[in-house]
Chains A and B, each alone.
Chain A
Amino acid sequence: MNPELQGRVFAPTAPYLVGREKVREFARAVFATNPVNLDVDAARAAGYDDVVAPPTFAVVVQEHTLAQLLAEPDAGIDFSRVVHGDQRFTSSRPIVAGDELTATLTVSGVKTLGAHSMVTAESVITDAAGAHVVTAISTLVVRGDD
């Protein structure tokens, strides 16, 4: 992997419009049963504008930034050797259907451990007003030659 990736900031992704049915589909896929994830009336009763996405939904938006990283011509990351090491979401507020989200990726760390390399990708996700919603941080491990 190219050590010069450290500190690189990518262009913001195109706005992602969070659909109500997408939230429901994702909620069912992660076995979420809370009514605020599925039922508009329950979400409104809890003070939200629409159904609320589960805590890990931000990965759907973050995915677009990881695609940018893997596609970077000088990154030298072989996708078939990538293993997900760890993941973190730090939220200012939950994602709600109707949100229009933009993600900006910064490569916050690159290191080599023996034959393997590790890259830490930090994606800051903001809403249409530019306010912070959630930061998604992934560490990807790129396995070296076996």
Chain B
Amino acid sequence: MAAAPTTPDFDALAVGDVVAERDVHLTRDSLVRYAGASGDFNPIHYRDDVAAAVGLPGVLAHGMLTMGLAVQPVVDWAGDPGRVADYQVRFTRPVVVAPEAGADVSVTAKVGQLDAEARAARIDLTVTFEGATVLGKAQVRVVLA
């Protein structure tokens, strides 16, 4: 069993600190797995013909899959998903998942703001695919009290 997670020290944080980074390789299998787990069976997430018919550049990752995986490095840094009090994103660009090559998504989590009274940090996520960001205003409020 893993060692008990430690809580980051709020007082040691500064705005701009990078607290976590992670690269995730998505494949079509990842999309099918997320479809089953979430119940979102929209065929644009697994059928090339349907994606093409509605004018998309290819099969897309579920926005909620991107949102879901992007917060995980923050959860691991915080040590406990229960410390995530608020999480919001705007879906700005699709992640196209090629049938063989898949898609590589990179997440960088930085301290955006510190609330000393609540001992809470706003962690801002930069989530990129093919060099461009895919989520806007991706913010996680983590309570470290």
- B63 cross-chain contacts in A, Cβ below 8 A: 84, 87
Interface size class of A (residues with CB under 8 A): 35 or more
Cα A39 to Cα B124 in complex, Å, equals 28
Chain A contact residues: over half helix, strand or loop, or mixed?
mixed
* B88 pairs with A89, CB closer than 8 A: yes
List, in ascending order, chain A residues with CB within 8 A of B91's CB.
Answer: 83-87
A56 pairs with B64, CB closer than 8 A: yes
Q: Scan B40-80; emit 1 where CB is below 8 A from any A CB, else 0.
A: 10000000000000100000000111011101100110001
- Across the A-B interface, how many residue pairs have beta carbons closer than 8 Å? 113
Q: Would you call B86 and A89 a contact (CB within 8 A)? A: yes
The reply to whether B90 and A85 form a contact with Cβ atoms under 8 Å apart is yes
State the CA gap A46–B7 with chains docked (Å). 12
Q: How far is the CA of A28 from the CA of B24 in the complex (A)?
A: 13
Cross-chain contact B38 with A87 (CB below 8 angstroms):
no
Within 8 A of B (CB), among A78-129: 80, 83-91, 93-94
- Give, as a whole number of angstroms, the nearest-CB distance from B22 to chain A: 8
Residues of B within 8 A of A93 (CB): 82
Interface residues of B (CB under 8 A from A): 1-2, 4-5, 24, 30, 33-34, 36-40, 54, 63-65, 67-69, 71-72, 75-76, 80-82, 84-91, 137, 140
Residue contacts A-B, CB under 8 angstroms, 14 given:
A29-B33, A29-B65, A30-B34, A30-B69, A32-B81, A34-B72, A34-B80, A46-B4, A46-B82, A52-B81, A55-B68, A59-B64, A63-B40, A84-B64
